[in-house]
């Protein structure tokens, strides 16, 4: 059977761990040439070494120079970019009255402006080719908000706004843009939360558990593949029903 991403060139930001790494593994298994990008060069090199045909790039999504340098290298080596997965993200949680301006700015810079930076710099190459798929990492928090996450919620709401706008702008040019809104997934970031909070999350989720990075990777795979050729501008919630 034909691999779903056979010979596709895919950039995955935040690819050194968590959902990004799980997505890279899934894409590689489906025949993609995976360009793993992360601010942690050592970690992303280690991750890329474990995947056939993967390459590692040091990218800080808040630094347009590093993004452009990586894109130019990828274009030199492969001649195209078929898929962009905007997965890089951070949290710096605090209640509104205690959140510092530095905490707010850091999360907005990575989670929101970082998505803008990467997409704006990759899009011209997709436009030239007349095709492409972009998948943005939002969150269930970007749909409903969350206590103590003013910055994170705002960034993830914003990503959905990007997605809806770019789907209109780029869709007529052959480029699909969609977002995934994961619930609480068993990544290092989530598992570091207090035990009592994790237990409450599992209690509120109608599947009774956290999601897994591999489950999210399957969703990214679908949206990036030609199987989703008529899917454009959606924000797909994958939360185990926690919002019900």
pLDDT tens per residue, range 99-134? 999 999 999 999 999 999 999 999 999 999 999 999
In this predicted structure, what is the pLDDT of residue 192?
Answer: 77
What digits encode the pLDDT tens for the residues 67-108? 999 999 999 999 999 999 999 999 999 999 999 999 999 999
Q: Return the HEC string of 104-125.
A: HHHHHHHHHHHHHHHHHHHHHH
Active site residues: 152
Q: Which domains does the chain have, with CATH numbers?
A: 9-184+214-233 (3.40.50.720)
Longest distance between any two alpha carbons in the chain, whole Å? 55
pLDDT tens, residue by residue, 13-64: 999 999 999 999 999 999 999 999 999 999 999 999 999 889 999 999 999 9
Rounded Cα–Cα distance for residues 153 and 136 (Å):
15
- Cβ atoms of 57 and 70 closer than 8 Å: yes
Encode pLDDT of 136-159 as tens digits: 999 999 999 999 999 999 999 999
What is the C-alpha separation between 41 and 57, in angstroms, rounded? 7
Question: CB under 8 Å to 153, separation ≥6 — which residues?
Answer: 141, 142, 145, 146
CA trace torsion 47, 122, 216, 27 (10° rounding): -60
Task: Please check whether residue 119 is in contact with residue 166, taking contact to mean a CB–CB distance below 8 angstroms.
Answer: yes
Give the closest residue to 82 by CA, choosing from 192, 158, 5.
5
pTM, entire model = 0.96
Start-to-end Cα distance in the chain: 38
């Amino acid at each position: 059977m034909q691999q779903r991403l056979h010979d596709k060139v895919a950039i995955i930001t935040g690819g050194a761990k968590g959902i990004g790494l799980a997505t890279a593994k899934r894409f590689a298994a489906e025949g993609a040439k995976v360009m793993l990008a992360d601010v942690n060069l050592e970690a992303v090199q280690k991750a890329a070494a474990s995947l056939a045909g993967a390459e590692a790039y040091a990218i800080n999504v808040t630094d347009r120079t590093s993004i452009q340098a990586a894109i130019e290298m990828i274009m030199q080596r492969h001649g195209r970019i078929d898929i962009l997965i905007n997965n890089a993200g951070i949290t710096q949680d605090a209640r509104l009255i205690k959140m510092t301006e530095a905490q707010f700015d850091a999360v907005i810079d990575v989670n929101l402006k970082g998505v803008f930076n990467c997409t704006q710099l990759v899009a011209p190459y997709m436009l030239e080719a007349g095709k492409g798929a972009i998948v943005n990492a939002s969150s269930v928090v970007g749909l409903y908000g969350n206590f103590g996450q003013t910055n994170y919620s705002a960034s993830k709401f914003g990503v959905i706004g990007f997605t809806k706008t770019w789907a209109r702008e780029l869709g007529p040019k052959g480029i699909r843009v969609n977002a995934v809104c994961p619930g609480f997934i068993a990544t290092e970031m989530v598992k570091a939360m207090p035990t009592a909070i994790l237990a409450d999350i599992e209690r509120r989720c109608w599947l009774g558990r956290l999601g897994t990075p591999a489950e999210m990777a399957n969703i990214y795979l679908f949206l990036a593949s030609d199987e989703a050729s008529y899917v454009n501008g959606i924000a797909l919630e994958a939360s185990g029903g926690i919002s019900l």
